[in-house]
């Protein structure tokens, strides 16, 4: 066999190895997402308080408000007014560090770098309500995200987005855009729907956040214009963002 033939076979072998490794990584990510969802749903079915998915009434008046009327708590414990981002297009997302969807941080950071100079901002709110997939301190969460994904967008104190201790911001967000279903073209959707149906009947009827990396899109006027479930392609999210810039 000629030397060129040997090199050709070797190159093909290396390409197959790389494809195989990439497929294995994708499979692991999907499995982690499903395992986390199963744990979460099992706890919810048993009435776990931390993962309570029931809609909770609060005293907040959700009528005639803008996103700039709300506050978030910074990692230093100080209150931050969202009026700081008045006039910008915002993507507000509840995140987790140990979720099958955590690699979305890569795409979110890429989107942020591409569009931030055009008036776009991402507000990151870590949350540990879904499968206990964000167990670290605020400092540990920030270090993880910056080291592993190079995130540069604002990240706030770990907070609840459902239940009796949910952020007033999220009470308002959910009142503006309820749950409209997982994305049909995502391979995880039928599996997730089956597990939710078995463990928590009626889950489709609540506006509550279903899982990590749910995203709300806010226009320059401070109104909620879209809600994206974690199963939504980040390409679709980016297209919706660009349409508002």
Which residues are known to be catalytic?
Answer: 99
Element containing residue 38 per DSSP (H, E): helix 3-45
**Of how many residues is the chain composed?**
245
Cα 147 to Cα 157: distance, rounded to the nearest angstrom: 18
Cβ–Cβ < 8 Å for 208, 78: no
CB-based burial of residue 185 (10 Å sphere; 0-12 exposed, 13-18 middle, 19+ buried)?
A: exposed
Element containing residue 199 per DSSP (H, E): helix 189-199
Task: Write phi, then psi, for 175 (nearest 5 degrees).
Answer: -75, -25
Which two tokens mark 19?
Answer: 């494809």
Biggest distance spanned by C-alpha atoms of the chain: 79
Cβ–Cβ < 8 Å for 79, 120: no
Cα 84 to Cα 82: distance, rounded to the nearest angstrom: 5
Cβ–Cβ < 8 Å for 116, 110: no
Distances (CA, A) of 242 to 68, 91, 108, 111, 219: 21, 12, 13, 10, 11
């Amino acid at each position: 066999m000629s030397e060129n033939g040997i090199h050709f076979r070797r190159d093909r072998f290396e390409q197959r190895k790389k494809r195989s490794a990439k497929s294995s990584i994708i499979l692991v990510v999907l499995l982690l997402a499903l395992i986390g969802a199963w744990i979460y749903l099992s706890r919810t079915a048993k009435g776990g308080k931390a993962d309570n998915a029931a809609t909770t009434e609060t005293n907040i008046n959700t009528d005639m408000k803008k996103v700039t009327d709300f506050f978030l708590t910074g990692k230093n414990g100080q209150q931050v007014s969202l009026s700081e981002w008045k006039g910008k297009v915002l993507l507000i997302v509840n995140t987790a560090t140990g979720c099958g969807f955590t690699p979305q941080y890569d795409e979110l950071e890429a989107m942020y770098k591409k569009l931030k100079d055009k008036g776009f901002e991402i507000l990151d709110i870590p949350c540990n309500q879904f499968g206990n997939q964000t167990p670290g301190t605020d400092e540990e969460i920030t270090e993880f995200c910056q080291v592993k994904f190079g995130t540069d967008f604002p990240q706030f104190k770990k907070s609840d987005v459902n239940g009796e201790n949910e952020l007033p911001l999220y009470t308002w967000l959910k009142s503006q855009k309820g749950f409209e279903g997982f994305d049909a073209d995502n391979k995880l959707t039928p599996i997730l729907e089956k597990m939710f149906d078995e463990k928590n009947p009626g889950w489709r009827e609540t506006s509550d956040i279903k899982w990590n990396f749910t995203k709300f899109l806010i226009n320059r006027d401070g109104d909620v214009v879209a809600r994206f479930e974690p199963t939504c392609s980040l390409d679709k999210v980016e297209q919706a963002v660009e349409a508002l810039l």
